[in-house]
Chain A
């Protein structure tokens, strides 16, 4: 059973387009995240949601808008895509009430903007 799943796995699109990435977790966790991994493999937090509420919103252009319809889902919508948005985007989840917020990551979505 997949714990954290993301779709699509690969996304190739033109500059200026709008795209969405979906994420679902079946671990019963209360917190979900979006991370961006650049070409040098540096992984950086973008957003954090706890029980569907936005907790962390790092310095991310407002073209990026996360949406959490329920605790098991956190989607990422990106408007007016730019070349610099090309990266691998990882969704993750954790249980904030247990342990040390150890994170379970999805397989990633490789976004290429042409």
Chain B
């Protein structure tokens, strides 16, 4: 059974701090996606990583895909209150490749 484990589950930090969120699995994924969900809204795609070892940057957010394609991380530099939200990693379900399996998410709160 495919599982994605995210840590930490909750993170509360001050504006300007750096943080890293982890997404781990015992299964190999052909790709992983990261989403951010704000209260009362649906998840919004941030990035897709597809190659082992790949690093992608989105302004202050840096995403990395593990060499073995079993894990990924999200690093935020100088967090801002606008970064507050639920961060979800997701990967394709088995061979169907269409629907996604999600991690349980990391709830980030950044206070000013």
Contact = CB atoms under 8 A, between A and B. Distances in A.
A107 B42 contact: yes
A45 B43 contact: no
B104 A48 contact: no
B88 A56 contact: no
B42 to A, nearest CB: 3
B101 A45 contact: yes
Given A42-B104, A45-B93, A101 B98 contact: yes
A108 B41 contact: yes
B78 interface: no
B45 interface: yes
A55 B94 CA distance: 13
B104 A40 contact: yes
B98 A102 contact: no
A99 B31 CA distance: 10
- Interface range, B side: 20 to 34
Given A33-B99, A50-B98, A56-B93, A102 B45 contact: yes
A86 interface: no
A81 interface: no
B7 to A, nearest CB: 15
Contacts of A94: 98
B33 interface: yes
A48 B16 CA distance: 41
